[in-house]
Amino acid sequence: MKLSSPQTLSQIASLIQCNYIGAPDFPVTGINEIHKVQPGDLMFVDHPKYYDKALQSAATIILINKEVECPDGKALIISDDPCRDYNFLTRHFSPWKMTDGHRGVDVTIGVDCSIHSTVVIGNHVSIGDRCVIHPGVVLYDHVNIGNDCIIHANAVIGSDAFYYKARPEGREKMHSCGSVEIGDRVEIGASCTIDKGVSGDTRIGAGTKMDNHVHVGHDTVIGEHCLFAAQVGIAGCVVIEDHVILWGQVGVPSDLLIGKGAVVLGQSGLTKDLEGGKTYFGSPAEEARHKFRELALIRKLPDVVEKLGL
């Protein structure tokens, strides 16, 4: 997320009572996670395995749990618990308060929309022109919807990321302060759920269509003109390029990439990135023609076992 007004390194460090390395007036203009950071952003890292990646990322302020050498043009904030302090900062700069009634504050709605009176619209939401939003839909805060979109009954857009920090006493919820960005001509089926980004955006590209009961996790980025059949489940931080087709009940774990134009047949479950332009099947999913050959070979097992006298 971008801060509504720029802060300085010393202001941020004093909020979380930490020491820092860098000029006191070093600018902090946003807060984000590793896969979304830009210059001006603060990010956090709390494991030595990721120190290098964090220090070399586009982020210019690193909230870190060790006093390491500060890269040129960057600043460090030293914390004994960067995750806790990051969570504090996102809550501080993006506090959450439940919408009262059916319309939040800072809501803009385009012309010629049909939005049912039961739809609940959170704060900081924009809806483009000629959209249809059916009864019972819930839009959390920070949802932006393009033109000519259709959202079917009881869908939920912008719910919190399923994202926790393991603590000895239980899981600590990471505050979700990101957004959902939906392009033009997107159709979202009944009872779909689309989580917001933790601090970045979940994106659905223009022209993409989803059937009922599809789940899309936080910070996932979906291209244009994709087609997802019913009950597809897509975890967080997935990247799906344009023109991808996922048939019913396909499952996509987090952090994977599906290349342009890939087709994944029903009930398949991914375990790795998929190259575009090919058809996949199985759980674990592999190229469909390999999988079908494998299924044919398995049908020869009675002969194999008989021939070997097993």
Site for its own copies in 183-202 (CB under 8 A): 185, 187, 189-191, 193, 195
CA distances from 284 to 226, 252, 270, 275, 294 (A): 22, 10, 6, 15, 13
Return the ∠ at Cα 238 (arms to 56 and 277), rounded to 5°.
Answer: 110
Q: Tell me which of 217, 223, 259, 261 binds its own copies, using CB under 8 A.
A: 217
- Smaller CB separation from its own copies, 41 or 211: 211
98 part of the interface to its own copies, by CB under 8 A:
yes
Q: State the minimum distance, in angstroms, from the CB of residue 155 to its own copies.
A: 8
- Listing DSSP states for 110-171 in one string gives -TT-EE-TT-EE-SSEEE-TT-EE-TT-EE-SSEEE-SS-EE-TT-EEEEPP--EEEETTEE
Active-site residue identified among 124, 218, 243, 290: 218
| End-to-end Cα, the chain, rounded Å | 62
118 part of the interface to its own copies, by CB under 8 A:
yes
Binding mask 24-63 for its own copies (x = CB under 8 A): ----------------------------------------
176 part of the interface to its own copies, by CB under 8 A:
no
- Smaller CB separation from its own copies, 72 or 169: 169
Q: State the minimum distance, in angstroms, from the CB of residue 1 to its own copies.
A: 20
Q: Are strands 27-31 and 2-8 parallel, antiparallel or unpaired?
A: antiparallel
Q: Which of 121, 119, 151 is nearest to 135 (CA)?
A: 119
Q: Tell me which of 59, 138, 145, 182 binds its own copies, using CB under 8 A.
A: 138
Binding mask 264-303 for its own copies (x = CB under 8 A): --xx-x-------------xx--------xxx-xxxxxxx
Q: State the minimum distance, in angstroms, from the CB of residue 96 to its own copies.
A: 9
CA dist., res. 123 & res. 139, Å (int): 9
Q: Tell me which of 78, 227, 245, 288 binds its own copies, using CB under 8 A.
A: 227
The answer to whether 223 and 182 are in contact (CB under 8 A) is no
CA dist., res. 88 & res. 271, Å (int): 34
Q: State the minimum distance, in angstroms, from the CB of residue 44 to its own copies.
A: 21
- Smaller CB separation from its own copies, 85 or 148: 148
The answer to whether 202 and 188 are in contact (CB under 8 A) is no
Q: State the minimum distance, in angstroms, from the CB of residue 39 to its own copies.
A: 33
CA dist., res. 86 & res. 199, Å (int): 10
Q: Tell me which of 51, 248, 257, 278 binds its own copies, using CB under 8 A.
A: 248
Please indicate whether residue 218 is annotated as part of the active site: yes
151 part of the interface to its own copies, by CB under 8 A:
no
Spell out the alpha helix ranges (H) of the chain. 9-15, 48-55, 82-93, 288-298, 301-307
102 part of the interface to its own copies, by CB under 8 A:
yes
Q: Report the site for its own copies in 68-87 (rule: CB under 8 A).
A: none
Catalytic residues: 218
